[in-house]
Amino acid sequence: MDYLPLFFKLEGQPVLLVGGGSVALRKATLLTRAGAKVSVVSHEICPELDALLAQHQGEAIIGEYHSALLDGKGLVIAATDDNELNSRVHFDATERSLPVNVVDSPDLCTFIFPAIVDRSPIVVAISSGGKAPVLARLLRAKLETWIPSSYSHLSSLVGRFRHAVKARFSTTNQRRIFWEEVLQGQIAEKVFAGRHDEAEQMLQAKLDDNTERHTGEVYLVGAGPGDPELLTFKALRLMQQADIVLYDALVSPKVIDLCRRDADMVFVGKKRDNHAVPQEGINELLVKHALEGKRVLRLKGGDPFIFGRGGEELQKLKEHNIPFQVVPGITAASACSTYAGIPLTHRNYAQSVRFVTGQLKNRTSDLNFDELVHPNQTIVFYMGLHSLPHLSSELIRHGKSADTPAAIVSRGTRPEQKVLVGTLADIAEKQAQAQLEAPALIIVGEVVELHDDLAWFGEEVLQEHQADLLPRG
């Protein structure tokens, strides 16, 4: 290692900062957050830095730097654009064995400022040893998305109970198991939801309870339409901590790959006329595994509450008093239309949108077509490929113009996405020739006309002579 990672305790400690510009302001902000007593010396001090010093009882010294300013200091930072001055600060500090940092000059540093993810009291520091600071900042940005801000509250809660847990459990292994259950279970989720009092009460109850845990928890998570980058932060976190995963056919392999590696994976997908596990069986599996004390992830394509039968599954869990939480996903209508360059609403074309299932119980369709044919309205049909001829003809029969633009988006947001564009009069015939695969959405409305201009996912330029079947991947 070029540098040994250390954390300085600076609360109440005097620090000298040489320089008064924007770079010095950034360093002073970090130092004051750590509780340091900052003295700044410079011929000019920017107003923001001056205000920061006043707010935190710091000291502003207008004038020349001289080595006597190092007396009594525990840390030194030079943040000027004067190379000669920076070198002098480095020399004076090292002569006194004081830690010194010269901004953007690794050779003059005995310590460096890492990129920081602050979830105090949890703090993560990333450093490239001064060789690639931009890369360190990019890594910090990734960690910012992976570590919820509520980890700050969670770590504080753990800190308050640390001594009580140590007194309750005599061995390190017992304490480890206890804390793993707390940090990966319902108590942590209460903290993440902002319900801190409930979390503290549950933690105290768990500490007082001598019985073993019997009931797990179910996470009903929307996996979105396929692109793993469309997952929410919360979805990814729960996917990483589940003991068993029940996943649908609509969940893309790339999303499944993000689940915890050692979790048991159970396919419960349903396709037309081919149900790996019937819905009633899925409900029973959720109950069974949760009652065994497992953390069960029910991973559904799209959003679990939009044609996902998530409500039915939760009703069954409620009957057995099994705790659960629901994480919304980006529903296919929103994501696939966006990736196809088709806005669902547009003030010149449509002021409302309808989400409709094209497949109802017992293969019947009792849709209210009189409502669907209202003008200035976009219609999105889920699961409608096999009933497309019926849907098209009924819309026309109830007054929708046969020239109304229509599109099919197959495997939307994925590299193999395809878009088929036509009208109500010919979209079924075009699909019969093209045979686009499910999962697919049907979009009906004037907004489909915007596809050619706004399509962005995949090929950058769409030629006029291309067929109506447009690959997007």
Q: Report the DSSP beta bridge partners of residue 60.
A: 40
Residue 335 CB neighbour total at 10 angstroms: 22
Q: Which of 92, 227, 248, 303 is catalytic?
A: 248
Considering only CA atoms, which of 255, 256, 260, 325 is closest in space to residue 290? Answer: 325
DSSP letters, 270-291, are EETTEESS-HHHHHHHHHHHHH
Q: Is residue 190 within 8 Å of residue 289, measured between CB atoms?
A: no
Question: Which residues neighbour 402 within 8 Å (Cβ) at sequence distance 6 or greater?
Answer: 396, 423, 424, 425
- How big is the CA angle at 25 (ends 21 and 30), to the nearest 5 degrees? 155
Q: Which two tokens stand for residue 260?
A: 């915890």
Active site (annotated) includes residue 270: yes
Question: Strand, coil or helix: what is 230?
Answer: helix
| Total residue length of the chain | 473
φ/ψ (deg, to 5) at 125: -120, 135
Question: Strand, coil or helix: what is 118?
Answer: strand
Residue 427: its H or E element: helix 427-434
Q: Which of 206, 234, 270, 316 is catalytic?
A: 270
Residue 38's alpha-carbon distances to 10, 31, 44, 289, 344, in angstroms, are 10, 7, 16, 56, 54
Active site (annotated) includes residue 403: no
Residue 349 DSSP label? T
Question: Which residues neighbour 261 within 8 Å (Cβ) at sequence distance 6 or greater?
Answer: none
Considering Cα of 260, then 233, then 228, then 326, what sign does the dihedral take? Answer: positive
**Residue ranges of the alpha helices (H) in 147-258?**
151-168, 172-183, 186-192, 196-208, 233-241, 253-256
Q: Is residue 129 within 8 Å of residue 97, measured between CB atoms?
A: no
Residue numbers annotated as active site: 248, 270
